[in-house]
Chain A
Amino acid sequence: MHMHKLERLWLMIGSGALIVFLLVIGVNAFAMGHTPPSDSNILDPTQVDLTAPFDDPGLKKIGDNEYELVLVAQAFTFQSNDELKIPEGATVHFKVTSKDVVHGFQIPKTNVNMMITPGHVNTITHTFDEAGQFLILCNEYCGVGHQAMGVPLEVIK
């Protein structure tokens, strides 16, 4: 099919830019381990309270300044048996599921953002380099109290 030579040039440049974008995110995702949260673990969404580790949600120290934070999302809060306080520089593995409807899990100012679908576990890891107040919030509509669904997370010196 005939194409103006400048259009052909433009499409080459444009597609070239798209390929660069794909390579950048592809390498970052697969070679540097930053694929988006895609946990494949499943559980019975009606038996969350009886299923480990969600039968005892909370903060567990698993290494040198490394923690696992297990949370149960439910309308309209994130359930934990421990206070959400972690030391500066800590790496936290968030492990979350939902007891009822679909929820979101997001911490503003970080890349922590994932969907929590009932029956599925989702996980994401973040290192908190600086002390301060953080907020875990639900970013998927889950009912009339959705806007109240947020809990503070404190990173202390």
Chain B
Amino acid sequence: MGVLEEKKETARKIVTTKEGPNLKGTMIAVMLLGGFIVLSWFGVYWLYIVRL
């Protein structure tokens, strides 16, 4: 890794901490929730299509 890239890397890290707290777990939790919604919605949509 070149010096320049290293500098960029640290700069990015500072930016991320400035972006606010670590919310990776939150993001995964809401994505699971979203996945559940999408799956159940298409489940019933499929039922609708089958029963047409």
Q: Which residues of A contact B (CB under 8 A)?
A: 4-7, 9-10, 13-14, 17, 21, 24-25, 34, 109-111
11 CB < 8 A contacts A-B? A4-B23, A5-B20, A6-B23, A6-B27, A9-B27, A10-B31, A13-B31, A13-B34, A21-B41, A25-B45, A111-B51
Of all chain A residues, the one with the shortest Cβ separation from B45 is A24
Which of A6, A7, A9, A21: most chain B CB closer than 10 A?
Answer: A6
Structural contact, B34 and A14, CB atoms closer than 8 A: yes
Q: Chain B residues near A14: list those with CB within 8 A.
A: 30, 34
Interface residues on B, range: 10 to 19
Q: Chain A residues near B37: list those with CB within 8 A.
A: 17
Structural contact, A17 and B31, CB atoms closer than 8 A: no
Task: Say whether chain A's binding surface is mostly helix, strand, loop, or mixed.
Answer: helix
Q: With the chains together, A30 CA to B21 CA distance in Å?
A: 45
Structural contact, A4 and B19, CB atoms closer than 8 A: yes
Q: Chain A residues near B31: list those with CB within 8 A.
A: 10, 13
In angstroms, how far is the closest chain B Cβ from the Cβ of A121? 22
B11 within 8 A of A: no
B4 within 8 A of A: no
Q: With the chains together, A6 CA to B21 CA distance in Å?
A: 10
What 7 A-B pairs have minimum CB-CB distances, sorted nearest first? A6-B27, A111-B51, A4-B20, A6-B23, A10-B30, A5-B19, A110-B51
Q: Give 15 new A-B contacts, CB below 8 A, not counting A9-B27, A10-B31.
A: A4-B21, A4-B23, A6-B27, A10-B27, A10-B30, A14-B34, A17-B34, A17-B37, A17-B38, A21-B41, A24-B45, A25-B45, A34-B52, A110-B51, A111-B52
